[in-house]
Amino acid sequence: MNIQQFLGIFISSVFIYNVILSRFLGLCPFVAISKDTRQAFAMSAAVTFVITASSVVTWFIYRFLLLPFNLAYLRTLSFVLVIAALVQLIEMVIKKASPVLYRAFGIYLTLITTNCAVLGAAVLNVDMFFANGKPVPGSFYYSLFQGFCMGLGYTLAMLIMSGIRERLEFCNVPKAMRDFPLAFVIASVLSLSFMGFSGFKF
Amino acid sequence: MKKLVKEFTKGIIKENPTFVLALGLCPTLAVSVSVANAIGMGVAATFVLLGSSVIISLVKGFIPGKIRIPCFIVIIATFVTITELCLKAYSPVLDRALGIYVPLIVVNCIVLGRAEAFACRNNLASAFFDGLGMGVGFTLALILISAIREVLGSGKILGHTLVNGFEPVFVFGMPSGALLVIGLLLGLFNLIKNRKT
C-alpha cells in the first residue's frame, strides 16, 4: 500500500478507464439527464455517494460473509440485493436528516438502484483487489478509493457532457439526430479525447 | 398461434430493445468489439431473458405487488449466476472477453423492463415468446453493431480477413467508435421512422 498505487487508481479510474466514456457503465442517466448542468451535478453527486458507500458495504459482505462460507458464486445476487437495500436506506436517512438535500437528490437516488455503474464498481473491486480468495494487502482502502474515484470520473464526464449539451440547445440539429443520437455522437468525441490519457504510464 | 408469432416478432423490429426502446445499451457498447463476443453476450442475455420471463409469469400470482421488484431481481440474478457459472466452466475464453459485463446483465434494463412490463401480466406462452423475441432482437442488434465495428476496426469478420490490403480504422475498435456507431445507427433508425409516418 503506497501513495503511488493510490495515484494510479485515481488516474486510471477518473481518466483512462472512465466509467462512462470507456467502460460504458451508467449510460442511461448519462444520456437522459445530461441536458441541464444542475440536474447533472445532483445526479453525479448522488452516484458518487452511493458508489463509495456500496464499495465499502460490498467489500465487507464479500470478505466476511461470502468468502468464509465458500459462497463466492452468490456474488451477483447478494451485491444486487445489498445495493438495492442500501439505496433505500440512504434515501430514508437523507429524507429524515436533511429534507433540503433530499429535495436536491430527489428521484435520482431511486434511479441509482439499477444503475450499472454501482454494481460494476462493486464487481470490479472484487475482481481487482481479491486474489485466489484472499484480499490483497490494503484491499479495503483500495476498494473504497476506487469506488470514490469512479464516482469522480462519472461526475467529470457528466459535467462536461451537460455543458456541451447546454450550448447545443440552440443549434439547428437535423430532426433525426435530435436527443439520443446526438448525445451519443458527442460522447464519442469526448471518449476520443479521453483516449489521450491512456498514454500515461506508471 | 398468430398472437404468439406476433409476440415473438415484435421484439425483433417494431420494439427492438436496442434501437427503438434504447434499453440496455451498456453491454451493447462494451462487448461489440468483435462479432464472436457479441453472439456470446446475445445468447447469454437471451437465456436470462427467457428464463426470468418464464419463471416470473409462472409465479406472478404468488408475489405481492409491493415487493415484486426485489423478487424479480432475485429471479433474474439467479439466472445470471447460472449463466456466469456455465460460461466459466465451458467457455473460459469468452468469459474473460466479456468480463464484468456478464454479472451486469442483472441490471440490464431490458430484462427488468420485460419482467415488469410484460411477463408479470401475461400467461406462460406469451411470456416465453416475448422473452425469446426480445432476446433475438437484442442479439441481432449486437451482431449488427459489432459487424460494423469489426469490419471497419480490424478489417476482419469472425476472424476472417475480408479485403486484403485494407488499412483498419482502429478507432472503431475503441470505446469512442462504439459510441459513434450507435449514435449514427439510432439517427438512421429515426430517419426511417420519420419517412414512414
pLDDT per residue as tens digits for the range A79-110: 988 888 888 888 888 888 878 777 776 667 77
Give the per-residue pLDDT at B83: 93
Across the range A6-33, mean pLDDT stands at 84
pLDDT at res. A156: 92
Residue in A75, A119, A127 nearest the CB of B104: A119
In the predicted model, what is the mean pLDDT of residues B174-190? 88
Contact A146, A117 (CB under 8 A): no
Confidence of residue A155 (pLDDT cuts 50, 70, 90): very high
Residue A38 lies in a domain: yes
**A74/B81 Cβ within 8 A:** yes
Q: What angle do CA B132, B136, B142 make, to 5 degrees?
A: 145
Task: Determine the angle formed by the axes of helices A75-97 and B68-90, rounding to 10 degrees.
Answer: 150
pLDDT tens across B129-160, in order?
Answer: 888 989 999 999 999 999 998 888 888 787 77
Distance from CA of A143 to the nearest CA of B (A): 16
pTM metric for this prediction: 0.86
State the amino acid at position B27 in one-letter form: P
Interface contact B190-A116, CB threshold 8 A: no
Contact between B77 and A192 using a beta-carbon 8 Å cutoff:
no
CB proximity under 8 Å: A 97-136 to B: 114-116, 119-120, 123-124, 127
- 8 Å CB contact of B174 and A73: no
pLDDT digits (tens, 9 = 90+) for A122-150: 888 888 888 877 888 888 999 999 999 99
A6 found inside a domain = no
Query: Which of A76, A88, A118, A119 has the most B C-beta neighbours within 10 Å, making it the best mutation to test the interface with B?
Result: A76
- Per-residue confidence (pLDDT) for residue A106, from 0 to 100: 64
Q: Is A188 on the interface with B (CB under 8 A)?
A: yes
Model pLDDT, residue A201: 53
Letter string b/e over residues A71-86, b meaning 16 or more CB atoms within 10 A of that residue's CB? eeebbbbbbbbbbbeb
Residues in A closer than 8 angstroms to B72, CB to CB, are: none
Per-residue confidence (pLDDT) for residue A75, from 0 to 100: 87
Phi, psi dihedral angles at B129 (to 5 degrees): -70, -35
Residue A10 in any domain: the answer is no
- For chain B, percent of residues with pLDDT exceeding 90: 22
Kindly report the nearest CA distance between residue B151 and chain A, in angstroms. Answer: 19
ipTM of the complex model = 0.83
Please report the pLDDT score of residue A144 as a whole number.
92
Which of A34, A119, A191 to substitute to test the interface with B, most B CBs within 10 Å?
A191
Grid cell 462512462 in the structure block, residue? A20
Contacts of B173 (CB under 8 A, 6+ apart): B33, B149, B150, B153, B154
The answer to whether B153 touches B33, Cβ cutoff 8 Å, is yes
Q: Return the domain boundaries, chain B.
A: 2-147
Check residue A58 and give its pLDDT: 92
Of A28, A178, A191, the CB nearest to B179: A191
Domain span including residue A143: 20-199
Per-residue pLDDT band at B63 (split at 50, 70, 90): confident
Report the alpha-carbon distance of residue B24 to residue B111 in Å, rounded: 9
DSSP letter string over B3-40? HHHHHHHHTTTTT-TTTTS---HHHHHHHTTSHHHHHH
Other Cβ atoms closer than 10 A to A193: 11
Chain B residues lying within 8 Å of A115, measured CB to CB: 107
Dump pLDDT digits (tens) for B112-132: 888 888 888 888 888 898 889
Among chain A residues, the shortest Cα distance to B69 is held by A84
pLDDT over 60 (residue B194): yes
Q: Is the Cβ of A21 closer than 8 Å to some Cβ of chain B?
A: yes
Q: Is the pLDDT of residue A70 over 90?
A: no
- pLDDT at position A200: 59
- Specify the higher pLDDT residue, B9 or B48: B48
Number of domains in chain A: 1
Residue A202 reports pLDDT greater than 70 = no
